[in-house]
Structure formats: C-alpha cells, structure tokens
Amino acid sequence: METGERLREVEREIAARRPEHAISPTLDRIAMLTGLLGDPQRACPVIHVTGTNGKTSMTRMIDALLRERGLRTGRFTSPHLVSMRERIAIDGQPIGAERFTGLYEEILPYVRLTDEKQPVPLSFFEVLTGMAFAAFADAPVDVAVIEVGLGGSWDATNVADGMVAVVGPVAMDHMNYLGDTLEEIAGEKAGIIKAGAVAILAQQPVPAAEVLMRRVAEAGASVAREGIEFGVIGRELAVGGQQLTLRGLRGTYDEVFLPLFGAYQAGNAVCSLAAVEAFAGVGGGADPLAGADGLAAPGGAVLDPALVRDAFAKISSPGRLEVLRRSPTVIADAAHNPAGMAATVEALLESFSLTRLVGVLAVSEDKDVAGLLEELEPVLSDIVVTRNSSARSMAPERLAEIAAEIFGEDRTRAADRLDDAIEIAVAIADEPSGDDLPGGSGVLITGSVITAGDARLLLAPGVPADAPEPPAGTPARHSFTVGDLS
C-alpha cells in the first residue's frame, strides 16, 4: 500500500474514535496507555501551554525560541488545519507520513489493550497524545512543548508534569465542558500548574487571575505575570507585522520584529519569551525565579538578544490572520469565540487598510454564534454564512437566521459550500464603489480552526502549514469558481 493511501487510512481510523471535544473526565485511560508505552511523557522536560485563546501561537513561539537556542524540540498542537501530522512536530516540522503511520502501528497493540481494560475506549485526542509522547521519546527531543486540547485538569496532555506551565488569556468558551463562569473555566485550566513548576500567566480577567493565583499557592509553584513581572513595553506597526520591545524576566529585548498582527500576538510573544527564560533557569538547576513569596524575582542570565530577534522574525502562525490571496486580500483566521474575534477585529483594523471587508463565516453549532456575529458586524459590509468540513458545523440555514437578526437580511447571504461562499464574498468585494481605493477590499474567512484550514486547503493547496504568507505581487485571483477551488 502506498504511503499516502495508508496515511489516509490511519487518519480515518483515528478520526472514527470518540471526538476530541467529547471528553470523559479522567486521566485513567491516557495514564494506562502511556504506562504501557513506558511513560514516554517523562522522557524529557515539558513546557505545558493552556488558555482560551492564543495557546497554539504561544506553543509555536516557545518552540521557535527553544530551537534557536540549539535544543531539539517536540511540539504538540491541536486542532490541525489540514493534516493530523501537523499536530506532532519535531524540530519545527510535522512528522512525515511514513513516520506517522509507523508510529500508529507501533502503539496500536497498546491502544487496543487499553480499550479492552477501560470502561470507555480511548478517544481520538488521547490516541494522538500517546503518539506524540512516544514520538518525542523515540526521537529523542530535549524538551517537549505541549498544547492542551481542552481545559487542563482532565486533558489527556495533563498526564505530563510541566516544568513550566503557561496560561494564556482565559475567556468564555466550551462552557458545556468547562463550566459557565470564568472562575470554573480558570479552575480547569489551572490544573496544569504542578508542584514546583513555574507558572507564566498572561493578563487575565480578575476572577480568572484569582483562581490561578490560588492554584499557584496550593501547588507550591512560583509565578510570573504579564504586566507585572514581564510585559510588552513598546509596540509599533511594521511592514508585515510589528516591532516590539519586550521586558522579560531577565532583561529587556528591543528591536524584536514579529511577523504577526495584533496586540494579542505581542502578548503571546512576551509570554512565550518569559516561558523560555523560566525554562532556561530551571533547566540550569538553579531556582532563578522564586522569591520568598513565590513570585518571580529578578536576576539570572539574559537570553541572547540576537537569538530572540532571530527566533521571532521566523515565526509563523498558520490560520491566524493569514493572508491567502491578494487583490482582493483574502484572510483566514481561526477565531471561534467572542473574545478571540474581538482580538481579531482589533488587529484587522490596526494592521490592514481595507475600505471594504466581506466576511465568510462557518462555525461549530455549540459556539456563541450571536457573540461572534456581534463582534464582526461593525467591520463587515456583508457576511456570507456557510458550513465547514466538520460534522459539528452549524447548518447555513440556521446560521443565516441568526446573522440576519444582527446584520439584516440585505447584508446576509448563505451558501451550502465554503468554496461557493468564498466566490460570493470575492464577487461582493470586487464590486466597484466610489469610496473604494484600488486594493482596498478584502475577505475575512473565519469562525473556526477547521474553517481556516478548509480555506487554506482551497486557496493555498500544497503550501506547507509553516510557509510564510504570499508576498506583495502574488498574482491576483479576481474571480473564484467552484472548479478553481474544488
């Protein structure tokens, strides 16, 4: 059997399991699987990353900084944009198709044994988590950067004990799984903060901050907080991104170019920097952070500023305000909750000079759809609602009903397929208007990581997930047809 065909077969087998959002709160299954595999999650130090928004970007940034320091890294992220292989990366690159299938076949006997012994079989996400830990132990890697799938306490990745635990901004999302208050959601995410760890906390709403700080105290961890022990102290727009001055735990790093847009990505960057500084100190065997009160203390070695600049200049975060086409500008973004969409809208207004923006929205049916639409309404001239490739995608008819209540029927269109929706949106964006400047129109495709991934597959087929955005001068695509996009 050809490698590509076998890969598709393996992906279908894994995807047929209980989906990753259908959690059954226990670590017993993943603990049994990793135990049978020899506890690969303990083979190297772990930096563990959670949060409602920004955790994939932070995981990628931490990975890049560590690799720039000469360390061999394993990186586990979720969900994927196009291929499951993207989730498991070594030295910044997704593992190959042959290695992915071989890894699955190696652990399959242990997966089946676990299924037999446990009341509930392993889920899609639990199997991939086991594969990731096995891959990193086998490589071997010097450090694994692990993104939580959902929550923290009962997430399969929490079978590992992070030396550094990073908590991105906490907001309302996945309420049917994590709780319907900020305190409850923060409590679930706080579960990755373990005894003796260093907790790196992004700026948080007060209720979430109180829960996280209480967990730090209970666990006997040390903590560093964005805006207090470290933070962004300078930020200017630059061509293709932004120029930053970052105050880390060790010192100040200026002239840092980040090829990503928005204040929230600057926050992700400084949290990632602090995480690597903390890891460098802990990895050196000292206790460079904890003061008498458990808060981060000054001192210790500064990271090489040139290394920091080089690492951030190479960063990419596919599906996060990613430009897929130009003229009109077509942007894919994975925002899927109101807080994330608010950050996306703020970054769009700051970084893109668009006189007209048309939205394409496909979203999971369990999301706060009205909240997403309310964030988008002030900046979109029109919206085209559709479905993505997930079985959880809300039906376009229902999504159109909700959108029409917020945008009005005259600004709302619906399409059964994403490619048709993009074609409609581009046609609207291309309509002449006396107020429009040449190149001033755009299309935003958003609502889900899956939506962003589907758009990427349609508009940038064959482009690796780590490829940079198309440069200015990329041939325009003024007219999309189903034939072009299928």
413-422 confidence digits (pLDDT tens): 999 999 999 9
The region of weakest confidence among 300-309, 329-338, 365-374, 381-390 is: 300-309
* Inter-helix orientation angle 305-313/55-68, to 10°: 130
Q: Decide: residue 184, CB within 10 A, 0-12 exposed, 13-18 middle, 19+ buried.
A: middle
As for how many domains the chain has, the answer is 2
Give the CATH number, domain containing residue 380: 3.90.190.20
Q: What is the pLDDT of residues 166-189, one digit of tens each?
A: 999 998 876 677 778 999 999 999
pLDDT for residue 213 is more than 50: yes
Per-residue CA distances from 289 to 2, 190, 191, 296 (Å): 51, 19, 21, 5
Per-residue pLDDT averaged across 255-278, rounded?
97
- Which of 313, 342, 368 is a domain's end point? 313
Per-residue pLDDT averaged across 44-70, rounded?
96
Classify 472 as helix, strand or coil: coil
**Shared-domain flag, residues 430 and 448:** yes
> Residue 245 has what pLDDT?
98
What range defines the domain where residue 476 resides?
Answer: 322-485
**Shared-domain flag, residues 331 and 419:** yes
> Residue 195 has what pLDDT?
97
pLDDT for residue 437 is more than 80: no
> Residue 276 has what pLDDT?
97
**Shared-domain flag, residues 384 and 401:** yes
Q: What is the pLDDT of residues 79-108, one digit of tens each?
A: 898 899 999 999 999 999 999 999 999 999
Per-residue pLDDT averaged across 258-280, rounded?
96
> Residue 174 has what pLDDT?
66
**Shared-domain flag, residues 254 and 353:** no
**Residue carrying structure tokens 């988590």:** 129
Q: Which among 174, 176, 175, 167 is positioned nearest to 208, based on CA atoms?
A: 167
Per-residue pLDDT averaged across 457-486, rounded?
47
Terminal alpha carbon distance of the chain = 26
Average model confidence (pLDDT) for the chain?
A: 89
**Shared-domain flag, residues 253 and 336:** no
Which helix (H) or strand (E) element contains residue 329? strand 329-332
Rg of the chain over CA atoms, in angstroms? 22
pLDDT cut 90: percent of the chain above it: 79
**Shared-domain flag, residues 8 and 98:** yes
Tell me how far the alpha carbon of residue 219 is from its chain's centroid.
27
Quickly state the pLDDT bin for 216 (edges 50, 70, 90). very high
Those residues whose C-beta lies under 8 Å from the C-beta of residue 398, and which sit 6 or more positions away, are: 365
The region of weakest confidence among 191-205, 337-351, 434-448 is: 434-448
Quickly state the pLDDT bin for 481 (edges 50, 70, 90). very low
Count of alpha carbons within 13 angstroms of residue 260, beta-carbon side: 27
What one-character DSSP code corresponds to residue 228? Answer: T
**Shared-domain flag, residues 478 and 393:** yes
124, 15 contact by CB (below 8 A): yes
